[in-house]
Amino acid sequence: MSLVSRRQPEAVTLAATSPIGVFDSGLGGLTVLSAVHERLPNENLIYFGDTARVPYGSKSKETIIHYSLEILEFLLQQKVKAVVVACNTASSHALEALREKSPVPVIGVVEPGVAALARHYPEVKRAAVIATRSTVKSNAYAKLVQQHLGDVHLYQKACPLFVPLVEEGFAERQVTELIIREYLDEIVRDGYSHVILGCTHYPLLKKSIKRIYPQLTLIDSSSEVAHALQELLRQHQLLNNAPTKGEVKLYVSDITDSLLDLEKIFFGKTIHSLEKKVLGW
């Protein structure tokens, strides 16, 4: 299962000290950034959150590709050595276009989640993915599972209320427990034991889900992306072995009233700089 660009355009020199670019339609991808920062603390990280144009889930595929390529161009201007698409919608619709245009490796969030499920194969024949409506509609997870794990039955479940609950800081409130049961009772009742968290918001619900359903094995795409990125950099001899911790820079296309609250919810660590950067307007 390839996690990198199909081609490497000529005349591009990658350096181990160069930063890693991470982007999402908003700030949910900060859970991926956090996982990368935890696994690779010496790496310099640049995050772009397209907060002015969020959500991508209501946009057409063509628009999502257009926005994603704009962000890629910005990150390449920052001399990044790899790009992480920390957005399930962009990973589902724009990954191939990004890989065609990028001179550096590009990793999405869908493939690492399926790769993690593959590690439980062939013991697991039935699995589920919970995600937003847009990701479920794209069939990105189902297509990849069918391609690599043909006899695994994947049940896809849209859980649209999870995103606003997380963003309101309600991850461990009683109301969230009720919604979790509403969405996941049928998955447990029907005997699915492995569940991929197919949205960057959902790792913040892991604690609550495991408390209600301790029998479930939850596959966190955020930590899986960090693992895949580490292996990719190691293969290309691009790991930053500097003795000091790397810097984390945050760019957003709009600074909203809730930005600092969401930054704390999704990242919970020090952001060294925050800057507004408008693209394509």
The CA distance from 16 to 8, in Å, is: 17
**3-class SS of residue 275:** strand
The CA distance from 206 to 46, in Å, is: 26
Which residues are annotated as catalytic? 87, 199
Closest to 17 measured CA to CA, from 102, 85, 79, 76: 79
Closest to 17 measured CA to CA, from 50, 43, 39: 43
The CA distance from 200 to 197, in Å, is: 8
Cα–Cα distance list, 42 to 216, 239, 244, 272 (Å): 33, 9, 6, 14
